[in-house]
Chains A and B, each alone.
Chain A
């Protein structure tokens, strides 16, 4: 804002003399004031009301920055709160999945219990496993080792007839 004293156009057109009241007596410690001189003042149309100071740019900038900070803080707060909610939701989902996994694990254990496997095997008609045959090592001092492929000596075998019940596993 340009001060009125510098507005030369107004100076030429509207010049008033006004009486300036006598200034009160100054303190003796202060130096004597200069003698009063008549001032040339100008009436400016649309001038702001007396007492209201025009906003300063720094103030406006500060206000904008402050408002932005407040908004930013609020946004961060909202985002943090939102992520907290998300985290809680995810944790809840993890817990639910873990519980589901535990239940499924128990189901697997129940289904793979020997008694159930035995029962199912019997139901579907599985038969006992065949007899086990063991190959005996060649006796010490034998000329040729007992093998199943040489044919020179039939390997000694111990045959164990199976009396297993169906579905009890085994080899």
Chain B
């Protein structure tokens, strides 16, 4: 009886033990799944069933100063396929090839991939995408995205820049202000089955994208067009392969136009030449030549060393430090005032004055005018130019730098120098971005840096000297009837790329202030290697064509107080 009674107990004990072991195993497994490996398993599961789609944010618009869009994003569609759902890849590829104009083989390759998502075409215009979807091809879908368009065509393309396929800025303001324009992308998270179909009542979350800010430039599209048009004509007339120009409001430092030629189509940047992509006004430094003589004059007058009326004996050549320097054209030794030295753009006269100024004073003036550092105009890749410290100057540098050789500047830097003289000696940082706009409201903007460089007396003296250049000197071709203009020509040889010395190519420049008695506009024109190696015959007439339009467009009145009966004032602008 006792043995028979022990068997059930044993069996019960065994069953209990088995259950306990099973329970322990189950609990252990639960602990492993729920606690130890929970995170990794959750991630693994999420990877398998959660599809996350980035929702692109609307990229901000780039406007000109009058709120005319220069770059704008429009709705488009990204066409995609789920190859698992494509019933007949052959016929589907055929139909899509006809509709989209894409090679059939390429489409077929994508439609037969072992994937639940492949792109078929990006940035497809909405009507075309609608037509494709109307074909009701199994496995073909579309989701919204945006496409960047430049409705003004090539206008200001080097300034505005362009974006890549993923709407990331690649050049110009598009690149420089990319973080501002891009906004914050949103995200759509959906649970899907292995075939990529959404699971009904599955997890779904949408984070809405935040649109990018709009950027309002200081550029005026009409002035920009007139400037580019004038450069186009100048290239034809002078044979120069490249040219650049910039227009600045000297009182505010705002850049009104910034033009580069050859032209660039931002919609077709992939086929553009590297030189046409560059914004040479701020990205390329060059030896400015005689336009730099004004800084030498500023140092001389500000330092009390010379006045415009001071007279110098000026031969046409001068031996200095073992080298012989020449004026542009031979002449007998003249007794010229400093005014006349600048008007005739005499190298020898300027070198003589510079010897009195001294290297440290000249260097200080160059630096005060902002040479050797970027203007921080708000454009990416801005060049600082080249200006070495005086301790590294060779003996001949003290003869070449005063006449604009041996240093390098950007056209914008040099235009800012003339703008400072126009602005009574106060250098104002050039600006290209007028304001940022978010949700229709203007954002606070930091005030441009400005600093006094020279006294207003010196600035007035320099403007008078510049007037003399245009009235009686090398700048005559820049004259415009009814207006007093102060300007300076500059012709500089281009240094050899891989060796010491200079090539036979030249860069010609004209920078002018108008009206010189009450400056409203400063413009600079730089031309690469025109057929005629003289600024007066190339850059100055181009400058006149640009400014003549700008004066009328900006409603700048003529220089009052001049005798209208004076025949000299009513003459044509041609020399």
Contacts and interface: CB of A to CB of B under 8 A. Distances in A.
Contacts of A99: 74-75, 126
B152 A115 contact: yes
B553 A159 contact: no
A109 B225 contact: no
Contact of A106 (B72, B557, B560, B561): B72
B265 to A, nearest CB: 11
B549 A168 contact: yes
Contacts of B573: 163
B570 interface: yes
B154 A115 contact: yes
Contacts of A132: 552
A162 B573 CA distance: 10
Given A99-B75, A157-B564, A170-B553, A115 B225 contact: yes
Contacts of A134: 482, 557-558
Contacts of A102: 74-75
A29 B108 CA distance: 95
A161 B549 contact: no
Contacts of B551: 160
Contact of A118 (B149, B229, B570): B229
A169 B558 contact: no
Contact of B126 (A103, A115, A164): A103
A159 B482 CA distance: 7
Contact of B229 (A106, A168, A171): A168
A106 B152 contact: no
A138 to B, nearest CB: 10
Nearest to B545: A163
A123 B163 CA distance: 33
B553 A169 contact: yes
B20 interface: no
B549 A109 contact: no
A161 to B, nearest CB: 6
Question: On chain B, which size bracket covers the interface?
Answer: 35 or more
Contact of A114 (B225, B560, B570): B225
B151 A110 contact: yes
B226 interface: yes
Nearest to A163: B548
A165 interface: yes
Contact of A158 (B69, B126, B226, B570): B570
A113 B228 CA distance: 13
Interface string B202-245: 00000000000000000001100110010000000000000000
Interface in A96-151: 99, 102-103, 106, 109-110, 113-116, 118, 132, 134, 136-137, 139
B100 interface: no
A136 B560 CA distance: 6
Contacts of B570: 158-159
B481 A159 contact: yes
B131 to A, nearest CB: 14
B74 A136 contact: no
Interface string B468-491: 000000000000111000000000
B164 interface: no
Nearest to A137: B560
Given A109-B69, A168-B549, A158 B153 contact: no
A132 B152 CA distance: 28
B144 to A, nearest CB: 9
A108 to B, nearest CB: 8
B100 to A, nearest CB: 19
A161 B552 CA distance: 11
B68 interface: yes
A151 to B, nearest CB: 18
B518 to A, nearest CB: 14
A92 to B, nearest CB: 12
B226 A113 contact: no
B19 to A, nearest CB: 49
A157 B561 CA distance: 11
B72 A114 contact: no
B569 interface: yes
A116 B152 CA distance: 9
A113 B564 contact: no
B437 interface: no
B225 A170 contact: no
Nearest to A103: B74
Nearest to B75: A99
A156 B549 contact: no
B572 interface: yes
Given A102-B74, A114-B155, A160 B558 contact: yes
A113 B151 contact: yes
Nearest to A140: B561
Contacts of B480: 160
Nearest to B481: A160
Contacts of B560: 136-137
Nearest to B146: A102
A102 B147 CA distance: 12
A113 B74 CA distance: 18
B74 A114 contact: no
A170 B552 contact: yes
Contacts of A136: 558, 560, 564
B152 A161 contact: no
Contact of A115 (B153, B553, B562): B153
Contacts of A170: 549, 552-553
A118 B152 CA distance: 12
Instruction: Count chain A CB atoms within 10 A of each CB in B74, B151, B551 and give the residue with the most.
Output: B151
A118 B553 CA distance: 15
B75 A156 contact: no
Contacts of A168: 225-226, 229, 549
Contact of B222 (A139, A156, A160, A169): A169
A156 B558 CA distance: 12
B572 A161 contact: yes
Nearest to A115: B153
Contacts of B225: 114-115, 118, 168
Interface in B91-126: 125-126
A115 B126 CA distance: 27
Given A158-B558, A160-B558, A170-B553, 4 more contacts: A109-B151, A115-B153, A136-B564, A159-B481
20 contacts: A103-B126, A110-B151, A114-B155, A114-B222, A114-B225, A115-B225, A118-B225, A136-B558, A137-B560, A139-B561, A156-B564, A157-B564, A158-B569, A158-B570, A159-B482, A159-B570, A160-B551, A164-B549, A169-B222, A169-B553
In the A-B complex, the 5 residue pairs with the smallest Cβ-Cβ separation, listed nearest first, are A109-B151, A158-B482, A114-B225, A158-B558, A156-B564
Interface of A: 99, 102-103, 106, 109-110, 113-116, 118, 132, 134, 136-137, 139, 156-165, 168-171
